[in-house]
Amino acid sequence: MSLRVFAALPVDDSVAGRIAPLQKGVPGAAWRPQENFHVTLAFFGELEEPVISELDTELGRIRQAPFEWMFQGAGHFGKAEPDSLWLGVAANPALNGLAKACVQAARRAGVEPERRVYTPHLTLAYLRRGVDIQRVQRFEQRLNLYRSAPMRADRFHLYSSWRSKPGRPNTYQIEAEYPLTG
């Protein structure tokens, strides 16, 4: 059996509870439910269970100290037409180092992770085609100066992603947890 998997940081419930009410003001946005909030470190794609087992072993070998991080600012992906809204993560060398360590672990397990410039973020919504760009810009301006309370990253997870019915958000399940102990 294969699973679609990725490594990610969880978002503290207290911070997630303050973000969820900000998800408004853009008709045509499919807002992500609070229980799906996470910050992806590395996306590995669809993998068979023996490969996931090896990936799990390699991710478990990552040694990094816990660190503080926070959300800051907002933006969108999609150059010609916006396709998603996100909340950014304040510059953080420790978080970037953890993302790089996850990519290296995947390669040791024989997995080639997604190749893109790493932009740590929380996806707030996916946008339907033809969304009003002025509404997107107003949303971004409203959250441009947003800063969340700091969070302590003391663990990360390997998640599986299950496609839901059309129009419904994917379901994410924690498959493994890795403590950050340094």
Residue 38 catalytic? yes
Characterise 33 by phi-psi region: left (phi > 0), alpha (psi -120 to 50), beta (else). beta
Compute the Cα dihedral for 114, 156, 118, 161 and give only its sign. positive
Residue 76 catalytic? no
- CA dihedral (21, 40, 147, 74) in degrees, to 10, reads -70
The residue from 38, 82, 98, 124 that is catalytic is 38
The residue from 67, 89, 113, 121 that is catalytic is 121
- Provide CB contacts within 8 A for 173, sequence distance 6+: 159, 160, 162
How many Å apart are CA 175 and CA 172, to the nearest integer?
Answer: 9
Report, as residue numbers or ranges, the catalytic residues. 38, 121
